[in-house]
């Protein structure tokens, strides 16, 4: 009897363990979000150097490779979650195949299509992302993935017969999902060249100094920083003018009442007192109309 009971208990424990494993397999694993300062790898769509077409594997999936290695870090380009900074990334040697790819990017024959993980990747996938790149798990180019967020780099410049001019200073804008909705999650990203400095002249064998100015936004809304050309009238401008006018009026009133008015009253009092004295004594101690020193009064003249 005791042996049968022990067997039943063991069978029940095995059944409960199998049930727990099956339930855990059915539930989706929630990938944790980024922490501030955590590195984010950048990978770009692999393209052929002769036509600029994207490379696919045997199953038709798109192939992504790590961004070229930056001389400053010895690693491919990385962003830091929530960290705004200027990242210098110098590409040491532009070989012939990559030079032709740059021609495609600058001439807009093919976009420099990159992507970043929406949330941190598992350690094994992160290693592949840095070393050899990964295959896209979506149906085709331009499709939406929950694992990656696209980041198209609009590289600007001009083509010459023997060289390229590339606007090597770029703005990088990254939107994070609202913290209340999906903390540590990337919602959107883009990068584009700006004409802030002289473009870099590049020939085969040269280096290409790139500078990425990274800015982060805590939600998917883009704040307005435009103040207008020529001074458009806004509510904040009106409030500022009213406050300035009120402060100026208060200062003028305080100055007039505290300094100017007492000074004028004092000066006016001295002037009136001096006028009375001069009127009574003729200005020199002589009464008006006569000579007090000789006892003559004004009298009546015929």
Question: Where do the domains of the chain lie?
Answer: 31-217, 251-283
Q: Which of 52-56, 177-181, 282-286 has the lowest mean pLDDT?
A: 282-286
Q: Is residue 95 over pLDDT 80?
A: yes
Q: What confidence category does residue 101 fall into, taking pLDDT thresholds of 50, 70 and 90?
A: very high
Give the strand pairing for 169-176 and 208-217.
parallel
Q: Is residue 28 over pLDDT 90?
A: no
DSSP state of 62: B
Answer with the residue of higher pLDDT: 300 or 250. Answer: 250
Integer Cα distance of 156 and 168 in angstroms: 8
What is the Rg, in whole angstroms, of the alpha carbon atoms belonging to the chain?
Answer: 42
The predicted pLDDT at position 135 comes to 55
The predicted pLDDT at position 83 comes to 96
Quickly list DSSP for 63-106.
EEEEPPBPTTTSSB-EEETT---EEEEEE----HHHHHHHHHHH
Integer Cα distance of 278 and 288 in angstroms: 10
146 Cβ partners below 8 Å, 6+ apart? 118
Tokens coding 123: 């350690």
Summarize pLDDT for 199-217 with one digit per residue, the tens: 999 999 999 999 999 999 9
The predicted pLDDT at position 286 comes to 47
The predicted pLDDT at position 165 comes to 93
Q: Model pTM?
A: 0.63
Tokens coding 127: 């290693």
Q: What confidence category does residue 97 fall into, taking pLDDT thresholds of 50, 70 and 90?
A: very high
The predicted pLDDT at position 244 comes to 85
Contact between residue 20 and residue 26 where contact means Cβ atoms under 8 Å apart = no
The C-alpha angle 154, 158, 160, rounded to 5 degrees, equals 145
The C-alpha angle 62, 65, 69, rounded to 5 degrees, equals 165
The predicted pLDDT at position 125 comes to 66
Contact between residue 209 and residue 90 where contact means Cβ atoms under 8 Å apart = yes
Integer Cα distance of 296 and 290 in angstroms: 6
Average pLDDT, the chain: 79
Q: Is residue 55 over pLDDT 80?
A: yes
Q: Which of 89-93, 101-105, 136-140 has the lowest mean pLDDT?
A: 136-140
Summarize pLDDT for 221-239 with one digit per residue, the tens: 888 877 665 555 566 777 7
| Tokens 């790590």 found at | 66
The predicted pLDDT at position 193 comes to 95
Percent of the chain surpassing pLDDT 90 = 43
């Amino acid at each position: 009897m005791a042996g049968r009971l022990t067997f039943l208990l063991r069978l029940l424990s095995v059944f409960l363990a199998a049930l727990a494993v099956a339930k855990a397999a059915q539930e989706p694993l929630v990938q944790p979000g980024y922490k501030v300062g955590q590195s984010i790898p950048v990978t770009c769509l692999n393209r052929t150097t002769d036509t600029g077409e994207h490379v696919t594997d045997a199953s038709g999936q798109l192939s992504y490779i790590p961004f070229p290695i930056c001389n400053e870090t010895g690693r491919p380009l990385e962003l830091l979650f929530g960290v705004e900074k200027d990242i210098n990334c110098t590409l040491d040697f532009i070989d012939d195949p990559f030079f032709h790819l740059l021609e495609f990017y600058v001439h807009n024959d093919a976009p420099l299509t990159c992507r970043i993980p929406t949330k941190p990747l598992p350690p094994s996938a992160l290693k592949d992302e840095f070393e050899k790149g990964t295959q896209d798990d979506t149906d085709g180019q331009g499709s939406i993935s929950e694992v990656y967020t696209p980041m198209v780099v609009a590289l600007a410049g001009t083509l010459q017969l023997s060289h390229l001019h590339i606007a090597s200073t770029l703005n990088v804008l990254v939107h994070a999902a609202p913290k209340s909705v999906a903390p540590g999650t990337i919602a959107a990203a883009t990068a584009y060249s700006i004409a802030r400095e002289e473009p870099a002249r590049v020939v085969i064998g040269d280096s290409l100094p790139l500078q990425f100015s990274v800015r982060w936004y805590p939600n998917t809304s883009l704040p307005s920083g435009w103040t207008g050309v020529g001074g458009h009238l806004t509510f904040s401008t009106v409030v500022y003018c009213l406050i300035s006018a009120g402060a100026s009026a208060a200062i003028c009133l305080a100055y007039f009442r505290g300094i100017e008015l007492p000074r004028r009253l004092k000066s006016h009092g001295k002037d009136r007192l001096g006028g009375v004295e001069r009127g009574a004594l003729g200005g020199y101690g002589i009464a008006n109309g006569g000579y007090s020193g000789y006892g003559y009064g004004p009298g009546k003249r015929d």
